[in-house]
Amino acid sequence: MKRKLAAGNWKMHGTNASLTEIAALVTAHPAPGADILLCPPATLLARAAVLAADSAVMIGAQDCHAAASGAHTGDISAPMLADAGATAVILGHSERRENHSETNELISEKAHSAHAAGLTTVICLGETLAQREAAQTLEIIATDLHASLPDSATAANTVLAYEPVWAIGTGLTPTEAQIAEIHGLIRSLLSERLGETEAAALRLLYGGSVKPGNAAGIFGIANVDGALVGGASLKAADFSPIINALEATA
């Protein structure tokens, strides 16, 4: 059976003092019933990997360059992330798509590079409020999935995260029916792309204002295999109840 996954995206938060939260999470979940992935900022990556070594907590990054090396000042390649101790990388988050004008094609190139470096990719998909109000959600998800997913993607090296842009950091959450519709669509599209067996094994996460108070309901929805959590992953005291809720459905 595939393992459920609780992934935390710290975004541009965290200093050396924040490493105590990782230590607390390691202590709180010595043998979890679900996989745990934390993605701190790049400045903490190597230290976080050392801290989480020999524990059940995996450490990932928040982005990578499509090239393995080169004259790209300020960028970090997938091999560099792996060398620093990362086992995964988040790609195509809506904030990267919007703030850095990242295209589906670029995300696919990054994912291919990450796979070549041995990293698991968490590829994000999601619609804006304007797109949902214009009834374009299904079209946007299908387009993003088709163009963002590289041919190197498998259930072993890829996770997909549905993050409605309008729900990220707003406190708003889609209805359970809306989440079920999109996750069902993604599973169906994956079956067409990868085949039913591989599609069934690939984990689908929900992201967008996931909190201790709503986690259990979200994890009870069909085709939801975990969550990509933002603000609630910054503190072990907030992230642990979400992990516990996920374990209850595993």
pLDDT > 70: percent of the chain? 100
Q: What is the per-residue pLDDT for 208?
A: 87
Of the listed 21, 102, 127, 163, which one is catalytic? 163
Kindly report, residue by residue over 72-118, the tens digit of the pLDDT: 999 999 999 999 999 999 999 999 999 999 999 999 999 999 999 99
Tokens of 41: 């900022």
Kindly report, residue by residue over 16-53, the tens digit of the pLDDT: 999 999 999 999 999 999 999 999 999 999 999 999 99
Which helix H or strand E contains 114, and what residues bound it?
Answer: helix 104-116
Phi-psi category of residue 37: left, alpha or beta, with phi > 0 → left and psi -120 to 50 → alpha: beta
Residue located via tokens 């201790």: 212
Tokens of 72: 């790209």
Of the listed 93, 112, 115, 183, which one is catalytic? 93
Q: What is the per-residue pLDDT for 4?
A: 98
Q: What is the per-residue pLDDT for 166?
A: 87
Residue 98 is among the residues annotated as catalytic for this protein: no
- Which has more pLDDT, 198 or 250? 198
Residue type, 88: A
Question: Residue 70 — pLDDT band, cuts 50, 70, 90?
Answer: very high
Contact 89, 114 (CB under 8 A): yes
| Main-chain phi, psi angles of 106, to 5 degrees | -65, -40
Q: Is the pLDDT of residue 211 over 80?
A: yes
Measured CA to CA, the distance from residue 220 to residue 222 in angstroms comes to 7
Question: Residue 237 — pLDDT band, cuts 50, 70, 90?
Answer: very high
Q: Is the pLDDT of residue 67 over 70?
A: yes
Q: What is the mean pLDDT of the chain?
A: 96
Spell out the domains of the chain, with CATH numbers in brackets: 20-247 (3.20.20.70)
Kindly report, residue by residue over 161-188, the tens digit of the pLDDT: 999 998 887 777 799 999 999 999 999 9
Which residues are bridge partners to 36 per DSSP? 6, 57
pTM over 0.75: yes
Residue 93 is among the residues annotated as catalytic for this protein: yes
Q: What is the per-residue pLDDT for 1?
A: 66
